[in-house]
Amino acid sequence: MRIRPGLALLASAALGLPTIAIAEANGRSPAGAPSPEQLSPDQNARNPSWPPNFSRSVQGTGVPGLDGGHVFLWNRPPGFDPVSTLRVDRHVPEGSGEATHTYKALWALGSTGPHNAGYEWTITGELHNRALASTGAQNVAVNGTIFKEPNGLGPVGPSWAGNFNCVDMTDEADPLASCIGAEIDVSAQSPTTDRNRQRVGLQISTGGVPGAHTGYGILMGNLTGSITDRAISFQGEGTYGIGIDAAAARFTGVPMLLAAGQAIGLDGNREGAFSRRLGFDGRDLVYGTAAGPVMRVSDSGQIEAASLRESLPRPPASSRAPCTPGDHAWDEAYEYRCVAPDRWKRATLSDW
Instruction: Give the span between the Cα atoms of 229 and 270, in whole angstroms.
Output: 12
**Residue 344: predicted pLDDT:** 98
Please indicate, yes or no, whether residues 39 and 26 belong to a single structural domain of this protein. yes
Q: How many domains does the chain have?
A: 3
The CA-atom distances, in angstroms, between 97 and each of 89, 242, 344 are: 16, 49, 84
More confident residue, 237 or 143: 143
**Residue 208: predicted pLDDT:** 87
Please indicate, yes or no, whether residues 283 and 331 belong to a single structural domain of this protein. no
Please indicate, yes or no, whether residues 66 and 2 belong to a single structural domain of this protein. yes
Q: Percent of the chain scored above 90 by pLDDT? A: 68
**Residue 41: predicted pLDDT:** 57
**Residue 40: predicted pLDDT:** 58
Please indicate, yes or no, whether residues 5 and 47 belong to a single structural domain of this protein. yes
Contact assessment for residue 38 and residue 22, using Cβ atoms and an 8 Å cutoff: no
Please indicate, yes or no, whether residues 69 and 6 belong to a single structural domain of this protein. yes
Please indicate, yes or no, whether residues 335 and 297 belong to a single structural domain of this protein. no
- Please report whether residue 86 resides in a domain: no
Instruction: Give the span between the Cα atoms of 239 and 326, in whole angstroms.
Output: 45
- Please report whether residue 7 resides in a domain: yes
- Please report whether residue 300 resides in a domain: yes
In the predicted model, is pLDDT for residue 151 greater than 60?
A: yes
Please give the average per-residue pLDDT across 82-88, as a whole number: 92
**Residue 42: predicted pLDDT:** 60
Instruction: Give the span between the Cα atoms of 262 and 256, in whole angstroms.
Output: 12
Neighbours of 175 (CB within 10 A): 10
**Residue 50: predicted pLDDT:** 63
Q: Whole-number mean pLDDT of the chain?
A: 86
Please indicate, yes or no, whether residues 337 and 277 belong to a single structural domain of this protein. no
**Residue 20: predicted pLDDT:** 35
- Please report whether residue 267 resides in a domain: yes
Domain that holds residue 2: 1-77
Tell me: the pLDDT tens digits for 205-264?
A: 988 899 999 999 999 998 999 999 999 999 888 899 999 999 999 999 999 999 999 999
Helical residues (DSSP H) of the chain, grouped into ranges: 41-46
Q: Percent of the chain scored above 70 by pLDDT? A: 86
Please indicate, yes or no, whether residues 280 and 331 belong to a single structural domain of this protein. no
Tell me: the pLDDT tens digits for 1-53?
A: 333 333 334 444 334 343 333 333 333 434 444 555 555 556 555 555 667 78
Please indicate, yes or no, whether residues 63 and 17 belong to a single structural domain of this protein. yes
Query: What element of type H or E holds 272?
Result: none
**Residue 97: predicted pLDDT:** 80
Tell me: the pLDDT tens digits for 294-308?
A: 999 999 999 999 888
Strand ranges, E, within the chain: 2-4, 54-55, 65-66, 72-74, 263-265, 277-280, 285-289, 292-297, 303-305, 328-330, 334-340, 343-348
Please indicate, yes or no, whether residues 1 and 72 belong to a single structural domain of this protein. yes
**Residue 5: predicted pLDDT:** 37
- Please report whether residue 62 resides in a domain: yes
- Please report whether residue 177 resides in a domain: no
Percentages (nearest 5) of helix, strand, coil residues in the chain: 5, 15, 80
Concatenate the DSSP letters of all residues of 129-160 into one string: ----GGG-----SS---------SSS------
**Residue 214: predicted pLDDT:** 92
Q: Which of 35, 58, 77 is the last residue of a domain?
A: 77
The reported pTM is 0.73
Q: Which of 77, 104, 139 is the last residue of a domain?
A: 77
Instruction: Give the span between the Cα atoms of 69 and 63, in whole angstroms.
Output: 16
The tally of CA atoms less than 13 A away on the side-chain side of residue 113 is 2
Please indicate, yes or no, whether residues 274 and 340 belong to a single structural domain of this protein. no
Q: Which of 77, 111, 128 is the last residue of a domain?
A: 77
Tell me: the pLDDT tens digits for 178-195?
A: 999 999 999 999 999 999
- Please report whether residue 107 resides in a domain: no
**Residue 179: predicted pLDDT:** 95
Query: What element of type H or E holds 26?
Result: none
Please indicate, yes or no, whether residues 319 and 349 belong to a single structural domain of this protein. yes
- Please report whether residue 10 resides in a domain: yes
